A and B are shown apart, each in its own frame.
Chain A
Amino acid sequence: MEYKFEQVKIVGGIGADDEFWRGLERGEFCLPTCASCGTWMWPAHFRCGACGAWEMQWNAIEPRGTIFTWTRSWYAFDRVSERTADVPYVSAVVEIPHAGGARVMGIYEGTDEALRIGVDVVGHILPPSEKTKGYPSIVWRPASSGPVA
């Protein structure tokens, strides 16, 4: 089945990141740079605030980074109630040094010991599911737990 996140598109935020999700649907982790001056631009937007250009270039990069911050949710919040069975679960913000320090969110899967700011993590792309509201997603696992599957 060819599944497209656009069919269940969430309205909210800036909304210039369609190519990020399309990339994940293809199995690629893509982040944008300004097509003119090369500045990393995340979250994606419609104009480069650094040089004024209007075109973005999407770059498939290695999904590697470090844990920037995290929280463990102990409550099944209303709008993410699809994850009720997973409570408590950990969401992380991961900093991508080779993408200008862009910070990308994801679920963390790993030991409590490795759940610390600064720990190296590797992203694994998951197909769309109910838990991810029909979007493809990325989970972050400690780099020490093994190579990318």
Chain B
Amino acid sequence: MMSKLRGAAAVVGIGQTPYYKRGASPHPEIKLALQAIVGACEDAGIDPTDVDGFISYASERNDAQKLMSALGTKEVRFASLAWIHGGGIPGALSIAAMAVATGQANAVVVYRSMAESSTQRLRVMVAQGDTAAQYLVNGLESPAQILALRSQRMIEKHGVPRDTLKAMARATYYHARNNPRAYGRNTVLDDETYDNARLISEPYNLFDCSRENDGACAVLVVSAERARDLPRKPAYILSAPMGTLNGGGALEENIRPYSFAGQVGVATRMWAESGYGPKDVDVAQIYQNMTGMGVGSLIDHGFCTTENAGEFITFDNLIVPGGSLPVNTSGGDLAEGFIHGMGLVAEAVRQIRGDSVNQVPGAKLSLMTGGPGDTMSSTGLLGSEETL
């Protein structure tokens, strides 16, 4: 069933601060948020005072009431936060689309800003202080460890080859080499470097884990009608459902099914709402807190199965040029940098515009998946005008 929101709104502006080493931002989080939002407005050709909707996800604390005086906001008409953690990103786009499609707001920013100096980044900003005692008593605290449990079973029980994790890491670092903003651009991740990396939490080694950076990223969403009058080529939001099926949620490793990304429900809805399927996608930004979860995302979205994952998820198949599904073309969470995954939205939009540093020629359908393995998640498909 096609959604009423299909193509009703579009991303028309991108703003990104530099990515700083964790704890090294010269600015506090709120200033980074302002810089990213103003950047998105300038990119879109919209006056920052006209932004009237503010949406983020997870535990963003730089909310509309703190930003409006510095932006000269004429009126805040809508402000909201998508629950969840990194799983919420495309879902936040969906909220923005609903706000502009229903006339609740006219120009909505979706943004995320993080700086170690301002907040307790991982403990509070990412994990939201909700790690259960069952984990902490048993030596488990980090997403790297908790998601390692999922990937270990994916490999050992379901037979997904360990090398798929390496392929995801290598493709990501390969793309980062062309991105001057990428934190990992100087790392040549060949087989030997990957294989010799120190272990973090089995099966993950150092290169399986995302970076931690300070910075901010924002995108500006307006109605499809208004988007056509703005200077940038619009990236239409075709579908960006959030949620989880029965058996998911905050269940302390009792989720069913277990081993993948928990995105079967949202992926199924996205294909149905958009009218497209995995074979139609030109390029994908796959949220990778950890490589194994990116593999799980591709399986949950139907790009491959546990049986043929080893054939589909190879370095050659995931890169520009030549791959059938180039992933994380800016370097992604692993190699570009990590502002809670928000940079993936910007890159998904650039692929539609045609100005990525690793451009997939003629890309029309651009996927961006939310945080895999999260207690709930979301996923989103952006398209050019031809895809409407």
Task: Give A residues with C-beta under 8 Å from B.
Answer: 9-15, 17, 21, 42-43, 68-75, 77-80, 83, 86, 88-89, 91, 93, 102-107, 116-117, 131-133, 135, 137
Contact = CB atoms under 8 A, between A and B. Distances in A.
Interface string B109-144: 000000000000011000001111111111111101
Contacts of B142: 77-79
23 contacts: A10-B133, A14-B132, A15-B132, A68-B258, A69-B152, A69-B153, A69-B157, A70-B149, A71-B145, A71-B149, A71-B201, A71-B202, A71-B203, A73-B200, A74-B201, A86-B139, A91-B149, A93-B149, A105-B140, A117-B157, A132-B137, A132-B138, A137-B138
Contacts of B156: 69, 116-117
A17 B133 contact: yes
Contact of B139 (A14, A80, A116): A80
B129 A12 contact: yes
A12 B375 CA distance: 14
A102 B251 CA distance: 10
Contacts of B199: 72, 74, 88
Contacts of A73: 139-140, 145, 200-201
Interface in B144-194: 144-145, 148-150, 152-153, 156-157
Ordered nearest first, which 10 A-B pairs have the shortest CB separation? A13-B132, A71-B148, A79-B141, A69-B153, A10-B133, A74-B199, A72-B202, A105-B138, A135-B137, A43-B252
Contact of A78 (B133, B140, B141, B253): B141
Contact of A77 (B130, B132, B133, B145): B145
A91 B144 CA distance: 13
B154 to A, nearest CB: 9
Nearest to A87: B139
Interface of B: 122-123, 129-142, 144-145, 148-150, 152-153, 156-157, 198-203, 250-254, 258-259
Contacts of A14: 132, 250, 252
A69 B150 contact: yes
Of A11, A43, A117, most buried by chain B (CB within 10 Å of CB) is A43
Contacts of B200: 73-75
B149 A79 contact: no
Contacts of B152: 69-71, 117
Nearest to A42: B254
B134 A17 contact: yes
A88 to B, nearest CB: 8
A142 to B, nearest CB: 16
Nearest to B142: A77
Contacts of B153: 68-69, 117
Contacts of A17: 133-134
A93 B142 CA distance: 15
B254 A12 contact: no
